[in-house]
Structure 1
Amino acid sequence: MTEPFKSSYKKLEYEKVIRQLAEHTVSRLGKEKTLTLLPTKEEQEIKTQLEETDDAYLLLRLKGGIPVAAFEDIRPHLKRVRIHGTLNGQEVAQIGRIIRTLREIKSFFNQAKEEAITLHRLYDKVENLDAFSSLERKINRVVDEGGYVLDDASAKLKGVREGIKLTESRTRQKLESIVRGPQARFLTDAIITMRNDRYVIPVKQENRTTFGGVVHDQSSTGQTLFIEPQSIVDLNNRLRQYQVEEKTEIERILSELTQDIAPYREDLEMHLSLLVELDFIQAKARYARSIKAVKPRVSTENAVSLFQARHPLLTEEEVVANDIILGEDYKTMIVTGPNTGGKTVVLKTLGLLQLMGQAGLFLPVEEDSTMGIFSSVFADIGDEQSIEQSLSTFSSHLTNIVSILKQMDNQSLILLDELGAGTDPQEGAALAIALLDAIAQKGSYVMITSHYPELKAYGYNRPETINASMEFDVDTLSPTYRLLIGIPGRSNAFEIARRLGVEDGIIDTAKQLMSGESQSVDHMIEDLEAKRKSAENQAEKARVELREAEKLHRELKEAHKEYQNEKVSLKKKAETEANAIVEKAKSEAEAIIKELRDKQLEGTHQGPLKEHEFIDAQTRLSRLKTEEESLRKNKVLQKQKKKKTLKVGDAVHVQSFGQKGTIIEKADANQWVVQMGMLKMKLPEADLVQSEEEEAPKQRVSIRRSSGPGVSTEIDVRGERVEEAVQQVDRYLDQALLQNYPKVTIIHGMGTGAVRKGVHQFLQKHSQVKKFEDAPANQGGNGATIVTFK
């Protein structure tokens, strides 16, 4: 890369943007990668980077971002693994944190797929991501988050550490008896401390022989000796031995774990690169959110349209957004206007946003803005080099421009601030025009700022060239910093002088001294500004509303498309699930009905066949039944149903149960009491459909019903044979269940115990029996059994 191109980064403040971007990373490696980000002129690479940023921005908005936690550079650790070194606990823990992050990222993207979040690039990027599950489990069994080797890493380590705790406890107990007992008067302080990894106490110099043992240290004055009393020497020795064993065992455990990590070394290094890449991509998304940036369109024809472009380094309070358009209808823009009017800021904004876009960053512009793809961006802004090289301002600018002319091509973007300044105005204007002609012959794209009135005429007369200016409010004598494309700037000197109190006669004399050409140009500009302001007030609202309408239309179109896709998908899924449920329920209900009817016809079902069993089975089937679409929509049939008035004695079809019944009485304005077999129910009128009496079927299934009084809560089967007793109990339990009794009593007597045993065996197999037990002593003891239903 050439030096002038590098100098453009500094002049356009690109490096400041990259430093701000780097602050959004979570790792040192991610920050280092970000700081090396440079623009590219490769179309596919630009689009890929923008799409990656777009993916991360979408995930940031919908799910809070990719779960990339802070991580360390584990490459030195992996290098030591390669040369068969042993990792320490902290290094193992750092590898474990990266593996956990990889697992969380894999889970995150799997969930995003399940939620049908559409991404351009990131699914492919993480497709081969490995969660290293088995290695993570091994690491978690050995070390904690801080790298401390856990007690349960091995049985031996656990035993050694228990020995350390026990020995330390005994040592401290002995020392506590000294520092808290009568011998404390021999100490300078009642504390227990450590010297040379051994427990000691501070003893006065004159009492050094009182406790015996070993002197390990003394105070600076020599008045205090740190002595290991003879009574704890053996304990300290044992503690030291445990500590040596602990260290040896930890080294063995970490050595084995390092060997377990070795086969994954290359894969871990590749996944570290992926983590760095994801950290970098997410930083671009976070930076975009911080400056309220959007994804620009990319024009390979360099038709730049940056709507409401803002300089990213200025705060919202400072910046004034401007539409910057270049490249489609004109390749050269000449911006004129007063000093401090914002011309240089507009120049820098165009160059900086173009560099950011070609580096894959979102731009602080409105939706539907378009960036170009330039082979290079050259800028000559400011006069810093004049100080560094002891050159005049004019010489400094000219040196830069000569370098640009040598390197530019037809895909270059050239930004020139105050072209031709620093010399005689007439010569400077002529030189500026000649330079613009040279750039135009090369086909480059250029934006310049200038004060020369000659360049205003140049902007009118040259093809693919347009004038622009920075608006100035004469009433407030201050610039508005708004870029006006198509209108050249004027000095406004006479208007400013008049408002500041200069006499009209002086101003008129000054106007007479101006050349006719200059006056005509000023009149032309004044007329253009008047027309512009008139049209702008009318067009601004329409333009904003049009953009909002287009944006809303686009969003609605996308939402409608998503809705239709989701609707079809959900309908198909629901139909499939509903059909499966209906088929299963239908076959089960039909099987139950067939079984009950077969038993009745064969006479194998002892006792009365209960009507509620038929109703229950048929109801399960009828609840899954849905009227055909044509019948539901048939207004004639619906009206016929409504015409019939229900009355007591009518035969009706109960739709919710799928059963026929007879109306017994009217419950209230909207409800009737209906008899369905043995059941009476209060039902809403909307659930009843009047039906005609049907002819009696040729063959009926006989159902015996009990006509006697209510069922008792107990049954006596004493004196019966076992088989007969069980059959009676079976029929009785059915009747009791129908009466909704919570529990009943079966009296079977004691006797030989055969009846009791047979009844208990039957109860064990009964599906509706929750439990059964012998009756209390005052109710028959083991001669009776109390049965509790479910």
Structure 2
Amino acid sequence: MEHWMLNPLEFNQVKDLLKEQASTLLGKEKVEEITPSSTYIEVKERLQATQEGIDFLRLKGEMSLGGIRNVLPQVKRSTIGGILSETELLEVSSTISAGRRVKSTVRQVEIEVAELPLLRSLTEGIESLDHLEESLTVSIDEQGFVVDQASPALAKVRRAIAQYRQQVNQTLQQILRNSNYQKMMQEAIITQRYDRYVIPVKQEYRSAFGGLVHDQSASGATLFIEPEAVVQLNNRLREKELEEEREVERILSILTGQVAEVADELMQNLSILAHVDFIFAKARYAYVAKAVCPVLTSNRTLRLKQARHPLIPADEVVPTSIELNDEQHALIITGPNTGGKTVTLKTIGLLALMTQCGFPIPAEEESLMPVFAGIYADIGDEQSIEQSLSTFSGHLTNIIRILKAVEGHSLVLLDELGAGTDPTEGAALAIAILEEIMGQGSTVIATTHYSELKLFAHSHPQALNASVEFDVETLSPTYRLLVGVPGKSNAFAISNRLGLPEWIIQAAKQQLSSDENRLEDMITLLATDRKQAEVDRQEATRLREETEKHYQEWMAKVEAWDEEKAKLKEKARQEARQIVNEATRESEDLLKQLRQWAKERPDQLKEHQLTEAKKRLEAAVPELELPQKQRRGKTHDQIDVGDEVLVLSLGQTGTIVSKKSDHVFQVQIGFLKTKVNRHDLEKKASKPQTKKKAKGLTSITRSKEHVRPELDLRGKLVEEAIGDIDKYVDDAILAGYKQVSLIHGKGTGALRAGIQDFLRSHRNIKSMRLGSQGEGGSGVTVIELS
């Protein structure tokens, strides 16, 4: 007996759904040939290939498989001496081209984006066969016609054919235009009969016209005559046409030989392309059916989340969730007729078959499926409770065959187990069959109406009850599967809803045994508890979703607040920097004026003029409370007037000139004075040096130890670089440098151009040049300070 019972589970109809997604006949044949596998590694590889196809479609949108033809018969015929036609050779060329495109398309997906190991390994096995494809495309055009360029001989003979046809046509046109012959013509046209050019002549002018008669009309009134003037031309034309046919045949023979030389590679390509099409047929089905690749388990654990029967329309199917762990070997499903028991049974079996074929299953993510050694089913379409003995015999015959064949970890599906005979005997027989199958280590899922099987599932440690839900209010099934709850008899409830007197219903209940009453009470209690648990679960889900929503809203507000705070800080920093830059420019004007006065009138510069200039300088520098950054200075260091400090928020070094309070100091940065919080200051080890100038003029000069002879501007924008250069030039002048270097790098040259445009108009730049070979070349601008 077969290990896979496909027909009762309608597996072939599922194959038809996948065939619709295949692009080629090769892919459709691959779908038709597939059978379930009982090997864990093989099933895992099949599902991995399907998942890679799904991932590829998600990334690339589609895989083009157009142009692939089943050229296996042509290839085999080429190896036994047959000559392929133009169309057949064109199909070979198209298949080679399609294989090359498939290989290239997979290569375009970067490994960092998606590894796709199986798909890459598969497509890398496709042989390019560029030489054969080129020979075919050069010799045969897209319409399947051997072109003149296929050989010099063919080109020559076709030129001759064209010349002879032209001569024949010209000669016949002269005859048609001749007034002596016009009355003899049935029509003034040139036509062909048996590959000869002829003219339609009236019957009565046969003897007067002359020539060879090749055909006549059905009425006999028209004769198709080849005039004597073109007989020799037609003969030569026909000779050339036969010569053309021989040359074309020779070319086709050569091309067929080239196909035969790579027959093995072509057949390998066909096999790979068929497999690729099969993979993408499964992947496309996953998108159409909203299916997923289940996770394989190495034990008996089975968990289907919102599983759907693949043959029921999506707008009609009711999802089913089922879970069996490694310790549960039997699931007993009870419930009313037409309630969905058989559909549930088929859904489980069908999804197991699909999994072991590598098909995606219509269920939600995180569904788990084991690998079964075999899948056996005894499922009948008869839903009537009035089953005949012959039906019982048929079911029992199938069960006997299953018991003989089942082995290892198999899945056995039994519909209406024990039905069709005496209820007591049928129930006892059903329990014995269940125990036998479970004892062999297989998983069994059975549907039944017997209360004894409900008690068996309730008491057996490896069995589990389940039922299909029935709505008593509407007197109709809901098709929902309730795992863990046995099906309750709804006969009394339905009778009550339909108006049967209550005393009759009570009298009927008294006919039930005490065990049956206890069972009904147990089922009622379980159903009530389950409904309450479902209500509680839905409320918990609602609260969780509401909490998550509030959390997301709160996080969005926090992110928006952080972003706004960052924008405000950046705006304040930009404004502060603009103010400082303006003050710096003003100080430079004053500094230049002082220098000019000292140079032109060293003896005339009065003390009150110097004092007035210093006041203007101080007035030009705003006293700002700079925004604090996260980095803080070392508060344990003692800072006093005269100490050199680093202003963290500006990244500049300055000197403490006064202490405004315990936490606020006035810092001089170059010619700028500003108030800075203690947390924004970090004490430096060395202090600025001062020196006296002649004539009683005093200035502050920064030590060369703290100002480098070059400024690195690489990686900065032009606007940022200009601000840094402005400050650096001032520091370099105060440090006593006459020449400094600006390092901007080569790059695109945009930064260098922007810097040099700024330097040309700078008041303190005497000259500039690009660096020499030893100074950095065009990546450095050397400036001379005035």
Judge same fold: TM > 0.5, yes or no: yes
Q: Residue 36 of structure 2 aligns with which residue? A: 39
The superposition leaves residues 1-33 of structure 1 with CA deviations (integer Å, 9 ceiling, x where unpaired) of x25x45x21000111112222232233233222
1:542 to 1:168, Cα distance in 2 relative to 1, 3 A: farther
1:331 and 2:352 aligned: no
- Quick check: 159-168 or 429-438, which moved more? 159-168
The superposition leaves residues 538-569 of structure 1 with CA deviations (integer Å, 9 ceiling, x where unpaired) of 2146569999999xxxxxxxxxxxxxxxxxxx
| Cα distance in structure 1, aligned partners of 2:725 and 2:535 | 66
| Cα distance in structure 2, aligned partners of 1:633 and 1:217 | 112
Structure 2 letter corresponding to 1:344: T
Aligned-pair distance for 1:284? 1.7
| Cα distance in structure 1, aligned partners of 2:240 and 2:83 | 22
Q: Residue 505 of structure 1 aligns with which residue? A: 503
Q: Residue 581 of structure 1 aligns with which residue? A: none
Aligned-pair distance for 1:279? 1.8
SS in 1 for 2:425: helix
1:543 to 1:326, Cα distance in 2 relative to 1, 3 A: farther
1:243 to 1:700, Cα distance in 2 relative to 1, 3 A: closer
The superposition leaves residues 601-629 of structure 1 with CA deviations (integer Å, 9 ceiling, x where unpaired) of xxxxxxxxxxxxxxxxxxxxxxxxxxxx9
Give the % identical residues.
44
Q: Residue 451 of structure 2 aligns with which residue? A: 453
| Cα distance in structure 2, aligned partners of 1:180 and 1:60 | 67
| Cα distance in structure 2, aligned partners of 1:507 and 1:177 | 110
1:307 to 1:114, Cα distance in 2 relative to 1, 3 A: closer
Q: Residue 201 of structure 2 aligns with which residue? A: 203
| Cα distance in structure 2, aligned partners of 1:365 and 1:331 | 22
1:18–1:37 CA contact under 8 A, matched in 2: no
1:383–1:397 CA contact under 8 A, matched in 2: no
Q: Residue 229 of structure 2 aligns with which residue? A: 231
Which of 121, 146, 149 is residue 146 of structure 2 equivalent to? 149
| Cα distance in structure 2, aligned partners of 1:397 and 1:549 | 54
- Structure 1 residues without counterparts, runs of 5 or longer: 551-628, 661-673, 675-680, 702-737, 739-790
The superposition leaves residues 465-509 of structure 1 with CA deviations (integer Å, 9 ceiling, x where unpaired) of 111000111111111100000111112122222222223233233
| Cα distance in structure 1, aligned partners of 2:434 and 2:235 | 90
| Cα distance in structure 2, aligned partners of 1:358 and 1:682 | 64
Aligned length: 597
Q: Residue 688 of structure 1 aligns with which residue? A: 726
What RMSD over aligned residues (CA atoms) do the two structures have, in Å?
Answer: 3.9
Aligned-pair distance for 1:174? 4.3
Aligned-pair distance for 1:381? 0.4
Which of 104, 108, 127 is residue 105 of structure 2 equivalent to? 108
Aligned-pair distance for 1:231? 3.2
1:92 to 1:501, Cα distance in 2 relative to 1, 3 A: same
Which of 120, 135, 151 is residue 117 of structure 2 equivalent to? 120
| Cα distance in structure 2, aligned partners of 1:172 and 1:114 | 65
1:68–1:105 CA contact under 8 A, matched in 2: yes
Aligned-pair distance for 1:230? 2.6
1:130 and 2:127 aligned: yes
Which of 323, 347, 366 is residue 368 of structure 1 equivalent to? 366
SS in 1 for 2:7: helix
2:304–2:368 CA contact under 8 A, matched in 1: yes
Structure 1 letter corresponding to 2:131: S
| Cα distance in structure 2, aligned partners of 1:73 and 1:304 | 40
1:76 and 2:73 aligned: yes
Q: Residue 425 of structure 2 aligns with which residue? A: 427
Aligned-pair distance for 1:71? 2.5
1:195–1:217 CA contact under 8 A, matched in 2: yes
Q: Residue 10 of structure 1 aligns with which residue? A: 7
Q: Residue 164 of structure 1 aligns with which residue? A: 161
- Quick check: 296-305 or 230-239, which moved more? 230-239
| Cα distance in structure 1, aligned partners of 2:90 and 2:139 | 9
Q: Residue 488 of structure 2 aligns with which residue? A: 490
Aligned-pair distance for 1:416? 0.5
| Cα distance in structure 2, aligned partners of 1:651 and 1:188 | 119
1:382 to 1:505, Cα distance in 2 relative to 1, 3 A: same
| Cα distance in structure 1, aligned partners of 2:45 and 2:739 | 79
1:86 to 1:539, Cα distance in 2 relative to 1, 3 A: same
1:382 and 2:396 aligned: no
- Quick check: 154-163 or 314-323, which moved more? 154-163
- Quick check: 398-407 or 240-249, which moved more? 240-249
Which of 630, 649, 663 is residue 635 of structure 1 equivalent to? 649
- Quick check: 24-33 or 89-98, which moved more? 24-33
| Cα distance in structure 2, aligned partners of 1:433 and 1:682 | 86
SS in 1 for 2:117: coil
1:311 and 2:309 aligned: yes
Counterpart mapping for 1:709-788 below 5 A: none
Q: Residue 186 of structure 1 aligns with which residue? A: 184
Q: Residue 587 of structure 2 aligns with which residue? A: none
The superposition leaves residues 159-209 of structure 1 with CA deviations (integer Å, 9 ceiling, x where unpaired) of 332333343344344445555775454333444322111222322211223
| Cα distance in structure 1, aligned partners of 2:247 and 2:391 | 74
1:114 to 1:310, Cα distance in 2 relative to 1, 3 A: closer
| Cα distance in structure 1, aligned partners of 2:323 and 2:352 | 12
1:470–1:481 CA contact under 8 A, matched in 2: yes
| Cα distance in structure 1, aligned partners of 2:544 and 2:185 | 90
Counterpart mapping for 1:214-225 below 5 A: 214-225=212-223
Q: Residue 21 of structure 2 aligns with which residue? A: 24
Structure 2 letter corresponding to 1:262: A
SS in 1 for 2:201: strand
2:286–2:292 CA contact under 8 A, matched in 1: yes
| Cα distance in structure 2, aligned partners of 1:391 and 1:317 | 38
Q: Residue 270 of structure 2 aligns with which residue? A: 272
1:300–1:373 CA contact under 8 A, matched in 2: yes
Aligned-pair distance for 1:634? 4.4
Q: Residue 56 of structure 1 aligns with which residue? A: 53
1:383–1:396 CA contact under 8 A, matched in 2: no
1:30–1:279 CA contact under 8 A, matched in 2: yes
Q: Residue 592 of structure 1 aligns with which residue? A: none
1:199 to 1:634, Cα distance in 2 relative to 1, 3 A: farther
Which of 389, 392, 410 is residue 390 of structure 2 equivalent to? 392
Q: Residue 255 of structure 2 aligns with which residue? A: 257
1:55–1:122 CA contact under 8 A, matched in 2: yes
2:334–2:466 CA contact under 8 A, matched in 1: yes
1:209 to 1:481, Cα distance in 2 relative to 1, 3 A: same
1:51–1:120 CA contact under 8 A, matched in 2: no
Q: Residue 88 of structure 2 aligns with which residue? A: 91
| Cα distance in structure 2, aligned partners of 1:440 and 1:413 | 10
1:376–1:411 CA contact under 8 A, matched in 2: yes
Aligned-pair distance for 1:446? 0.5
Aligned-pair distance for 1:308? 0.6
1:395 to 1:253, Cα distance in 2 relative to 1, 3 A: same
SS in 2 for 1:314: coil
Aligned-pair distance for 1:357? 0.4
1:56–1:65 CA contact under 8 A, matched in 2: no
Counterpart mapping for 1:567-716 below 5 A: 634-638=648-652, 688-689=726-727, 691-692=730-731, 693-694=733-734
SS in 1 for 2:124: coil
SS in 1 for 2:411: strand
Q: Residue 765 of structure 1 aligns with which residue? A: none
1:157 to 1:651, Cα distance in 2 relative to 1, 3 A: farther
1:698 to 1:494, Cα distance in 2 relative to 1, 3 A: closer
1:120 to 1:305, Cα distance in 2 relative to 1, 3 A: farther
1:503 to 1:168, Cα distance in 2 relative to 1, 3 A: farther
Q: TM-score, normalised by structure 2?
A: 0.69
Q: Residue 781 of structure 2 aligns with which residue? A: none
1:471–1:482 CA contact under 8 A, matched in 2: yes
- Structure 2 residues without counterparts, runs of 5 or longer: 549-630, 633-644, 655-666, 674-699, 703-707, 742-759, 761-786
Structure 1 letter corresponding to 2:397: T
| Cα distance in structure 1, aligned partners of 2:189 and 2:545 | 79
